[in-house]
């Protein structure tokens, strides 16, 4: 049997076999064995007769924040949709730790280790905070499936596996509540009662519960007050620096994004027109004038 990049059986995707292994960063094993670059090669995507993305190639470095910038309509959202499987790319490769996931379904892409936080703080308003969070764990294999994936055998006591799955989910929720205190206080409240900042926190927490190696964020600062926006950016920075998550940060707010990013790319009409260190991009007066708006 072939192995994934972190030694997991290929059939199991990246999903860790034991609960401890899964709590990246919390168990001292560090992020290095989990970080993976996202390499996008020659991606072409669009809608019907419209090609919104032309031959886009970029690498989001392992454990780094890569900002994807550009005006409204540049193709930023399309790029994230094509990576996450929400739309099927027409051409190109999407390599996670060397494995091509282009063209897979959204569920398969999540299982492979890429979580997508779409535009617009998409919580399910009629569900409670906790019910929204549990959706993030739907990509987990059942205890039984995990055992089979790890051993290639049937498990003697299926009951036991289901029990440990429950405990693992409870522990993951506890960890989320530990990191996101305002969500902990509101776990039984409907998501509709949350503020914009709390909703953004909830969708990020939900995405993290799928235990991704790569997090795709589509305009997380949109519509938030400056102070809340700063908190969200701090959170994003922490996820990269402390937990080794590879982050693709789509923003129209180029100044804020470049302040936290390591690298940046600029999209214009579906093509990459610049790619450089965040500080280099931020200092480029011509780029700022033409594409970045500051
Ligand atoms: N669902 C859709 N159907 C048809 N065209 C779309 C759709 N979504 C986006 N587009 C078009 O694709 C292009 C890129 O849009 P998008 O990826 O949303 O840009 P951005 O996120 O940078 O604002 C635009 O020309 C937009 O009009
Ligand atoms: Mg967009």
pLDDT tens profile 199-233: 999 999 999 999 999 999 999 999 999 999 999 99
On whether residue 264 sits in a domain, the answer given is yes
Give the chain's radius of gyration (CA, Å).
19
**Looking at residues 145-158, what average pLDDT do you find?**
54
For position 236, what pLDDT does the model report?
Answer: 95
Which pLDDT belongs to residue 187?
Answer: 97
> Residue 132 pLDDT > 70, yes or no?
yes
Using the predicted structure, report yes or no on whether residue 136 has a pLDDT greater than 70: yes
Cα 51 to middle of ligand 1, angstroms: 9
Kindly indicate the confidence band of residue 154, based on its pLDDT and cuts at 50, 70 and 90.
low
Look up residue 167 and give its two tokens: 């405990």
Q: Which ligand is nearest to the CA of 267?
A: 1
Residues 6+ apart with CB under 8 A from 49: none
Q: Whose CA is nearest to atom 2 of ligand 1?
A: 47
pLDDT, tens only, 245-267: 999 999 999 999 999 999 999 99
Assign 141 a pLDDT band (cuts: 50, 70, 90): confident
Strand partners, 26: none
pTM summary value? 0.85
Q: How far is the CA of 257 from the centre of ligand 1 (A)?
A: 21
**When comparing pLDDT for 162 and 268, which is higher?**
268
The pick from 44, 45, 77, 119 for probing ligand 1's pocket by mutation, whose C-beta has the most ligand atoms within 8 angstroms, reads 77
- For residue 269, tell me if it sits in a domain: yes
The closest of 290, 278, 243, 27 to 115, measured between CA atoms, is 243
Give the tens place of pLDDT for each residue, 6-36.
333 333 333 232 333 333 333 333 333 478 8
Does residue 182 fall inside a structural domain? yes
Tell me whether residue 49 is exposed, middle or buried, using C-beta atoms within 10 angstroms of its C-beta: 0 to 12, 13 to 18, 19 or more: exposed
Ligand 1 pocket mutation pick from 45, 53, 70, 75 by most atoms within 8 angstroms of CB: 75
On whether the CB atoms of residues 188 and 128 are closer than 8 A, the answer is yes
Residue with the smallest CA separation from ligand 1 atom 24 is 73
Could you tell me the residue range of the domain that residue 283 belongs to? 35-151+160-292
Q: What local confidence, expressed as pLDDT, does residue 88 receive?
A: 98
48 CA closest ligand 1 atom index? 4
> Average pLDDT, stretch 116-142?
91
Q: In this model, does residue 143 exceed pLDDT 80?
A: no
Using CB distances shorter than 6 Å, the residues near ligand 1 are: 47, 50, 52, 70, 72-78
The count of structural domains within the chain is 1
Structure tokens at 143: 């205890």
Rounded alpha-carbon distances, angstroms, from residue 57 to 6, 16, 210? 25, 29, 26
Question: Closest Cα to atom 9, ligand 1: which residue?
Answer: 78
Distance, CA of 180 to CA of 229 (rounded, Å)? 15
Is position 4 within any domain? no
Which of 135, 133, 154, 131 lies closest to 143 in space, CA to CA? 154
CA 174 / ligand 1 centre spacing (Å): 38
142 belongs to a structural domain: yes
Mutate to test the pocket of ligand 1, among 48, 73, 248, 266 (most ligand atoms within 8 A of CB): 73
pLDDT tens string 180-202 = 999 999 999 999 999 999 999 99
Mean pLDDT of the chain: 85
Question: How much is the pLDDT for 207?
Answer: 96
* Per-residue model confidence (pLDDT) at position 111: 95
Residue 153's pLDDT is 57
Q: Is residue 145 part of a domain?
A: yes
Ligand 1 centroid, distance to 197 Cα (angstroms)? 25
In a domain? residue 15: no
In 189-225, where does DSSP find H-type helix? 196-208
Percent pLDDT > 70 in the chain is: 81
Residue nearest to atom 6 of ligand 1 (CA): 47
Which of ligand 1's atoms lies nearest the C-alpha of 218? Answer: 21
Please tell me the distance between residue 119's alpha carbon and the centre of ligand 1 in angstroms: 12
Query: How much is the pLDDT for 35?
Result: 84
Cβ(278)–Cβ(67) under 8 Å? yes
**Would you state the pLDDT for residue 150?**
54
Residue 177 sits in a domain of what CATH number? 3.40.50.300
Judge whether residue 142 has pLDDT over 80: no
Answer yes or no: is 131 within a domain: yes
Torsion angle defined by CA atoms of residues 16, 21, 25 and 29, in that order, rounded to the nearest 10 degrees? -120
- Ligand 1 centroid to residue 37 C-alpha, Å: 26
Atom of ligand 1 nearest to the CA of 250: 21
């Amino acid at each position: 049997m072939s192995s994934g990049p972190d030694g997991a059986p290929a059939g199991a995707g990246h999903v860790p076999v034991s609960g401890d292994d899964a709590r990246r960063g919390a168990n001292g094993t560090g992020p290095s064995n989990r970080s993976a670059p996202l390499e996008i090669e020659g991606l072409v995507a669009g809608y019907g007769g419209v090609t919104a993305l032309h031959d886009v190639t970029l690498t989001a470095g392992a454990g780094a924040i890569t900002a994807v910038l550009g005006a409204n309509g540049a193709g930023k959202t399309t790029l994230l949709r094509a990576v996450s499987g929400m739309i099927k790319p027409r051409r190109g490769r999407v390599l996670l730790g060397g494995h091509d996931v282009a063209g897979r379904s959204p569920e398969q892409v999540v299982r492979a280790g890429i979580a997508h936080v779409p535009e617009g703080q998409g919580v399910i308003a009629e569900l409670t905070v906790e019910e929204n969070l549990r959706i993030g764990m739907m990509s987990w294999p059942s205890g039984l499936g995990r055992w089979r994936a790890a051993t290639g055998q049937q498990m003697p006591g299926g009951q036991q596996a289901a029990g440990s799955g429950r405990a693992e989910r409870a522990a993951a929720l506890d960890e989320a509540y530990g990191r996101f205190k305002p969500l902990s206080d509101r776990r039984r409240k409907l998501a509709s009662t949350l503020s914009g900042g709390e909703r953004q926190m909830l969708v990020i927490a939900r995405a993290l519960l799928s235990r991704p190696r790569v997090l795709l964020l589509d305009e997380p600062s949109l519509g938030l007050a400056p102070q809340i926006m700063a908190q969200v950016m701090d959170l994003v920075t922490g996820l990269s620096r402390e937990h080794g998550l590879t982050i693709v940060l789509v923003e129209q707010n180029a100044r804020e994004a470049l302040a936290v990013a390591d690298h940046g790319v600029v999209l214009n009409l579906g093509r990459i027109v610049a790619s450089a260190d965040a500080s280099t991009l931020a200092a480029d007066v011509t780029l700022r004038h033409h594409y970045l708006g500051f």
